[in-house]
Amino acid sequence: MLNRLTQNLDFQTEALTLRAERQRLIASNIANADTPGYVAREMDFSQALREATGSLAAGGAARMQTTQSGHIQPMAGSLGGPVGLKYAAAAQTNLDRNSVDMDRERASFAENSVKYEATLRFINGSVRSMLDAMKSPSQG
């Protein structure tokens, strides 16, 4: 029973971490909107979440592996591998070859903010429910 509860919280925690990473990525795109030659980046959130939670299908990309015992192990939810980050397709060509579309970035930022807050509220609600369930009736 407890294992199932912690698995759900682990999943939501990974989702929250990836949402924060996506927010940083979108903010970076917005900050570089006037940088000549900057190519906007985006994250395939669902694929990154599958990788972070270890639920990639057999046909999916492999996890990053180390070849030497001294190598640092990849962190869960890290986006250092090929999965997760990609370059955004430019909506229109600019003379300075900057591919940031501010309308798309603002919309993505707002959407991700709402989803981040929803995930955070879900985690808080889950923890609150577990704490309430653990209280004895006399503590009520």
Q: How far apart are CA 12 and CA 18, in angstroms?
A: 10
Query: What's the residue count for the chain?
Result: 140
1 with 47: CB under 8 angstroms? no
59 has pLDDT over 70: no
State the pLDDT at residue 58. Answer: 39
60 has pLDDT over 60: no
Q: What is the mean pLDDT of residues 94-117?
A: 94
Q: What is the pTM of this model?
A: 0.72
24 has pLDDT over 60: yes
Q: How far apart are CA 17 and CA 11, in angstroms?
A: 10
State the pLDDT at residue 3. Answer: 79
56 with 50: CB under 8 angstroms? yes
Orientation angle between helical segments 2-31 and 45-52, nearest 10 degrees: 140
What the block records as the tokens of 99 is 């591919």
pLDDT over 90, % of the chain: 46
State the pLDDT at residue 64. Answer: 58
108 has pLDDT over 50: yes
Helical residues (DSSP H) of 1-140, grouped into ranges = 2-31, 45-52, 102-134
The helix (H) or strand (E) run that includes residue 96 is none
- Mean pLDDT, the chain, rounded, equals 83
56 has pLDDT over 60: no
State the pLDDT at residue 77. Answer: 46
The helix (H) or strand (E) run that includes residue 53 is none
Q: In this predicted model, which residue has the larger pLDDT, 34 or 1? A: 34
Query: How distant is the alpha carbon of residue 22 from its chain centre?
Result: 5
Other CB atoms within a 10 A radius of the CB of residue 74 amount to 15
State the pLDDT at residue 139. Answer: 66
State the pLDDT at residue 122. Answer: 94
